[in-house]
Amino acid sequence: MLEIKNLTKSYGDVVALDRFSLDLKKGEVLGLLGPNGAGKTTLISILAGTISDFTGTVSFQGRDLFADRRLKNRLGIVPQDMAFYEELSARDNLLFWGGLYDVPRADLKKRAEELLELVELAARAKEPVKNFSGGMKRRLNAAIGLLHKPDLLLLDEPTVGIDVQAKVSLLDIIRGVGAAGTAVIFTTHQLAEVEGTCSRIAIMDHGRILAQGTLEELVRIVGEREIVEIAGGFAAGAFSEAVQDLAGERLELLSAADGLASLAVRDTGEIPRIMDRLFSRGLAVADIKIKSPSLETVFLKLTGRSLRD
């Protein structure tokens, strides 16, 4: 359904997208996971048509997305910024935006009511949106993107700044949209959101996809190893130097920052050897945690840093 090839976009000396390539099938919910600055919003902006000075190609339903304006009507956009009128009610916002999407007048009212039910706003449909909570506004934002029953829905970090209950509701909506046959690209830097929502996950950093697959496929990148997380009063460089000659088939340094480092080990029996080396170098250790491989450790392995960085 969607095929992106070698998409490249720079802002001065900063490369936001670096020969970015991706494909997406009908009904697939793709979680695009990466830290702030990875290029996620730039990608969504290009697909939405708000950025034009880039290189590369985007094919949608077998045609050039940017050469056929009619194709753009088959996209639904849910941006980070709220796209509605605060003074209008939720229902009036849907009726207004539905008109811009060319939803047939005979169908628009029924479609608006369906979406108000879907996003759990039917009881407050006549109330000005300015009175809504952040979570309610996020759900209305999603409803507007779904008004015209798009074939592809683009959501750019749609859960930013909302409470847990609202986030759960919105993620349920995203899963349901995919199950109904709409393809979805859902950008985020929250691990739990993609783990429970997406049929495929792509890890992105510095404008490129580093790895993609199901959660199980990605976790296999780390292999059948335990993750040892060590916290203490040490510098990143000192830690890396201390364990450098220990690294090998049985031990791999995943990341090292001031005060926190992560290693992957074949056997937890490696931990005493690690600790002996750190103590012999005078590095202070305050805490040790042993974890199973996860999406976060895959990200650490691929980028050398945490999603929180």
The pLDDT value given to residue 309: 47
Give the chain's end-to-end CA distance (angstroms, integer): 34
The pLDDT value given to residue 178: 93
Q: Do 180 and 271 fall within a single domain?
A: no
Provide the token pair at 24: 């997406």
Q: Do 199 and 172 fall within a single domain?
A: yes
Q: Do 247 and 146 fall within a single domain?
A: no
Query: Which band of pLDDT confidence, cut at 50, 70 and 90, is reported for residue 308?
Result: low
Range of the domain at 148: 2-219
The pLDDT value given to residue 306: 64
**What is the b/e burial string over 282-292, where b = at least 16 CB atoms within 10 angstroms of the residue's CB?**
ebebeeeeeee
Confidence check: pLDDT of 139 > 50: yes
Q: Do 212 and 230 fall within a single domain?
A: no
Q: Do 95 and 239 fall within a single domain?
A: no
For the chain, the average pLDDT equals 91
The pLDDT value given to residue 68: 80
What's the pLDDT tens digit per position in 21-77? Answer: 999 999 999 999 988 888 999 999 999 988 889 999 999 999 999 888 788 889 999
The pLDDT value given to residue 307: 58
Answer whether residue 304 is part of any domain: no
Answer whether residue 15 is part of any domain: yes
Q: Do 267 and 210 fall within a single domain?
A: no
pTM for the full model?
Answer: 0.84
Provide the token pair at 130: 């300015």
- Of 289, 286, 241, the C-alpha closest to 265 is 289
The pLDDT value given to residue 222: 82
Report the relative pairing of strands 63-64 and 14-24 from DSSP bridges.
unpaired
Of the residues 197, 219, 241, which one is the last residue of a structural domain? Answer: 219
Q: Do 61 and 183 fall within a single domain?
A: yes
Looking at residues 114-139, what average pLDDT do you find? 93
What's the pLDDT tens digit per position in 262-287? Answer: 999 989 999 999 999 999 999 999 99
- Of 199, 233, 150, the C-alpha closest to 142 is 150
Looking at residues 85-107, what average pLDDT do you find? 90
